[in-house]
Structure 1
Amino acid sequence: MKKKMKFFEKYLSIWVALCILSGFLLGKIFPQIPKTLSKWEYANVSIPIAILIWFMIYPMMLKIDFSSIKNVGKNPKGLFITLTVNWLIKPFSMYFIAYIFLKIVFGNIIDPELSSEYMAGAVLLGAAPCTAMVFVWSYLTNGDPLYTLVQVAINDLIILFAFAPIVSFLLKVGNITVPFGTLLFSVMIFVLIPLVAAIITRHYVIKVKGKYYLEKIFIPKFSSISIVGLLLTLILLFSFQGETIEKNFVHMLLISVPLIIQTFLIFAIGYFWACFWKVPHSIAAPAAMIGASNFFELAVAVAISLFGFNSGAALATVVGVLVEVPVMLTLVRIANMTKNKFVKKGVTK
């Protein structure tokens, strides 16, 4: 039976486009709303955005069973590929590709200062491997759900320690100065707090109601909250982005070029490496998908914290959301069409 995506995930790009339009109109018709909300911040972190990001991230963190990490040794090759690609290749290749296109190829079209902000947004996406949508991509490619869980859990833990230093380093290389304290504070607010809250919740619900209740009843109740959080965040973000969009609408298309190339490149590296190493397809596909896809919720939140609502960095991260689903669905098709390549090599049964 052919597997299908849920309605919201399948048309995510359409919802993002509608939110862009709604936010743009909101900022134009009721400019006092974004102006008022922009004043509610602490340590450069927007309180409204923080709340909405929590609504997005907390339900995702609930799905992650960190006790699954004990199974990490069952297929170390898949995990080694994921971690190497995600943390030693992806952030740096993203910087390199973004620099080539935003600074050189499109250098005569994009203002240098704005191109630097776009690069910053690309770097934030490149340093944040996927933690949520990868479960969808794994499902669509018949990936091993338990092993995907292990991969995501390990990556989430690494984000806590590696995201801020990598982003800070790459931005400094690009002559973009950001306060490291704000970067660390953003990771604490948008990753550590919802992560700890989710771990405590899982432990309590399992203790009181059992694991079946948690996974089949409790977690599904929060899926709609996550969706609402994402849509409201995008509407709010683009209510601030009205002027930027008017002046730089074509830039959204230009930003998408390095992001799409990066996605295909990272998938190819992880996928072909797994094939060469004779990793089972059920592990190889999601391993490659984790790096190709992005933790765009975190990237959007940090971009706003560091550069502001109406910044080019924030715009670039949202372009990442816009292109993610159609590009990743293309990769899903490629993975499913090439599954027999693993069989020929004696990889799968």
Structure 2
Amino acid sequence: MTQTAGTEPAESDVLHRLSFLDRFLPVWIIAAMGAGLLLGSVVPGLQGVLEAVKVGQVSLPIALGLLLMMYPVLAKVRYDRLDTVTRDRRTMVLSLVLNWVFGPALMFALAWLMLPDLPEYRTGLIIVGLARCIAMVIIWNDLACGDREAAAVLVALNSVFQVLMFGVLGWFYLELLPGWLGLDTTSVSFSAWEIALSVVIFLGIPLAAGYASRRLGERARGRDWYENRFLPRIGPVALYGLLFTIVVLFALQGETITSRPLDVARIALPLLAYFTVMWAGSYALGRAAGLGYARTTTLAFTAAGNNFELAIAVAIGVFGVTSGQALAGVVGPLIEVPVLVGLVYVSLWLRRRWSAQPFKTAPSRRR
């Protein structure tokens, strides 16, 4: 599909441009939740079976599901084009500040303000805030006619930065900062090393595999084959891995979920506030900085989106598959997907509204 400058997709076409699997992602997630609840109620001893073989602190089936979630996304990144955006200092600085300073701080504040009496869920949300975008954000950015190469580069940089800094930031926001502020952390027990190890396993391994896939695939068969033949084949694997993980999580969390539905609703509220504030604030900041429509849109979506796959992996690896932290991570994509689809429509509306102003549109690019 070719998108030329000045060509605006009709808002009614946005969902139709998604693949069948991506278009109904919220439906699949809800179905996976229901299947997990049903499985947990009819299969006795399921938890013992799942934990019979472990990778670190994570059962092998769940570990495989988590790795499957991450690999296809990281295989899509064009690692040889980092310099196309790194030369744009405004975009780089704004993205780094929004993703690694403002985003985690905002989620920390919302979690403590809205969930002061639910420490497990609060911790899970803070972990979500630390897991910066590397997944579905590329799809939302494309639908909103953002800058595809900028999105790919920011995703790649976020991936590398998470390997290096996630454990440090986890220690800062979960232990050091609450202590400085005099907040009660006695009900939260974790190890910064365990967080770092989970990141290395569930992000470092698929990151290395994704990089190797692109280098070897392009060298052997060329970029056209890699992006138009190989990537479409492995793309659905990420969704299958996510749905499998959700089924297992909800099978083990069934009693908690059905007995405390209000808790799930309370987890959703700070997530809604977070996505809205991050996207709107980033959009306003990008426009004020004169980035142009395409890169402003990319800045907004990469700041608002979160790597819920990594958040789920870390929560399971550190706190356990039946923990409240893991449940908070699972609720994340259920809220993020419909919210960011809605923000795609908002972006296209803003694009039309500002088309007569000196505001750049997305350049021509092959889809």
Q: Say which of 298, 318, 337 aligns to 1:286.
A: 298
Q: Say which of 92, 98, 104 aligns to 1:79.
A: 92
Q: Say which of 146, 152, 157 aligns to 1:154.
A: 157
For residues 146 and 237 of structure 2, the distance between their equivalents in structure 1, rounded to whole angstroms, comes to 26
- 5+ residue gaps, structure 1, are 104-111
The aligned residue for residue 108 of structure 2 is: 95
Please give the root-mean-square deviation of Cα atoms over the aligned residues, in Å. Answer: 1.5
The aligned residue for residue 63 of structure 1 is: 76
1:5 offset after TM fit, Å?
A: 2.1
The aligned residue for residue 204 of structure 2 is: 192
Would you say 1:261 and 2:273 are equivalent positions? yes
1:344 offset after TM fit, Å?
A: 5.5
The aligned residue for residue 247 of structure 1 is: 259
The aligned residue for residue 343 of structure 2 is: 331
Q: Say which of 322, 325, 343 aligns to 1:310.
A: 322
Change (3 A) 1:59 1:135: same
1:341 offset after TM fit, Å?
A: 5.5
State whether residues 148 and 286 of structure 1, in contact with CA within 8 Å, keep that contact through their aligned partners in structure 2.
yes
- 5+ residue gaps, structure 2, are 1-8, 362-367
State whether residues 23 and 236 of structure 1, in contact with CA within 8 Å, keep that contact through their aligned partners in structure 2.
yes
Change (3 A) 1:348 1:189: same
Q: 1:1-349 maps to which residues of 2 (within 5 A)?
A: 1-2=9-10, 3=14, 4-103=17-116, 112=117, 115-172=118-175, 173=178, 175=185, 176-340=188-352, 342-343=354-355, 346-348=358-360
Letter in 2 for 1:8: L
1:340 offset after TM fit, Å?
A: 4.5
Change (3 A) 1:269 1:166: same
State whether residues 342 and 348 of structure 1, in contact with CA within 8 Å, keep that contact through their aligned partners in structure 2.
no
**Helix, strand or coil for the counterpart of 1:84?**
helix
For residues 310 and 45 of structure 1, the distance between their equivalents in structure 2, rounded to whole angstroms, comes to 11
**Helix, strand or coil for the counterpart of 1:58?**
helix
**Helix, strand or coil for the counterpart of 1:310?**
coil
For residues 135 and 155 of structure 2, the distance between their equivalents in structure 1, rounded to whole angstroms, comes to 8
For residues 224 and 185 of structure 1, the distance between their equivalents in structure 2, rounded to whole angstroms, comes to 27
For residues 51 and 250 of structure 2, the distance between their equivalents in structure 1, rounded to whole angstroms, comes to 13
**Helix, strand or coil for the counterpart of 1:222?**
helix
State whether residues 64 and 152 of structure 1, in contact with CA within 8 Å, keep that contact through their aligned partners in structure 2.
yes
For residues 219 and 146 of structure 1, the distance between their equivalents in structure 2, rounded to whole angstroms, comes to 16
State whether residues 167 and 193 of structure 2, in contact with CA within 8 Å, keep that contact through their aligned partners in structure 1.
no
**What is the identity percentage for the equivalent residue pairs of Structure 1 and Structure 2?**
30
**Helix, strand or coil for the counterpart of 2:239?**
helix
State whether residues 110 and 270 of structure 2, in contact with CA within 8 Å, keep that contact through their aligned partners in structure 1.
yes
Letter in 2 for 1:197: A
Q: Deviations over 1:107-133 (max 9, x none)?
A: xxxxx3xx1110111011111121121
1:165 offset after TM fit, Å?
A: 1.1
Letter in 1 for 2:67: W
State whether residues 133 and 306 of structure 2, in contact with CA within 8 Å, keep that contact through their aligned partners in structure 1.
yes
Letter in 1 for 2:30: A
